[in-house]
Amino acid sequence: MATRTTHTDKVLALVKKAGVLRPRDLNPYGIPRIYLSRLHAAGKLQRIGRGLYVLPGSNVSEHRSLAEACKRIPKGVICLLSALRFH
């Protein structure tokens, strides 16, 4: 018997894989964005900024703000000093 994967399970798997999840990241999977709010209200996701979600208790590294910036502006360019510091 095949197990049925729920939208909740898919969202949690996506955020675990990506680290930081945006509402638009759910579109290719056909998952309604309301699931992010529901999971946040249930304590299964942490909202770290407007439209950015992570798993609660996830590691907060010095590169988290860089990851947040990359999620907010996907086609943006990281300046030389920030890129060198990351590398």
pLDDT digits (tens, 9 = 90+) for 49-60: 888 898 897 766
Q: Which two tokens stand for residue 77?
A: 């360019």
Number of folded domains that form the chain: 1
Q: State the Cα–Cα distance between residues 21 and 1, nearest whole angstrom.
A: 31
Q: pLDDT tens-digit profile of 9-44?
A: 999 999 998 888 989 999 999 999 999 999 999 999
Q: State the Cα–Cα distance between residues 78 and 82, nearest whole angstrom.
A: 6
Residue 48 belongs to some domain of the structure: yes
Domain containing 73 equals 7-86
Q: Which two tokens stand for residue 84?
A: 């060198």
Query: Which of the four pLDDT bands, split at 50, 70 and 90, describes residue 1?
Result: very low
Q: Is the pLDDT of residue 62 over 70?
A: no
Residue 2 belongs to some domain of the structure: no
Q: Tell me, what DSSP letter sits at residue 43? A: T
